[in-house]
Amino acid sequence: MVQPKYHIFICTSCRTNGTQKGFCYSQDSVKLVNKFMEEIEDRELTSDCMITNTGCFGVCQRGPIAVVYPEGVWYGGLDAKAVEEICESHFENGVPVEKYRI
């Protein structure tokens, strides 16, 4: 079984019927999943990080949202620049990025 150091859950507004609609989806959260994947691969962190897309976390007004476990750090208002900062500071150096925390 894979035991990543970080498990990143990213809201892509998935519904139980398989459709995607909602605030995070409308804010290109699917592209953010891809950006996280690219950054993690480029930084050679694939053995440390696992990414899972999710349904709604219930704080849509703060989206797009990502939650990082095991710490339970919630990030909001994400874009490509935020993903880069989170990957560098949090995943490479172990320091959460306060300006995106919710």
- Any idea where the domains of the chain sit in the sequence? 6-100
pLDDT tens by residue, 64-93: 999 999 999 999 999 999 999 999 999 999
pLDDT score of 1: 60
Q: What is the dihedral of CA 26, 102, 58, 47, to 10 degrees?
A: 80
pLDDT tens by residue, 23-60: 888 889 999 999 999 999 999 999 999 999 998 898 98
Structure pTM?
A: 0.91
Give exposure, 76-101, as e/b (b: 16+ Cβ within 10 Å).
bebeeebbbbbbeebbeeeeeeeebe
Provide CATH code, domain 6-100. Answer: 3.40.30.10
* Percentage of the chain lying above the pLDDT 90 cut: 74
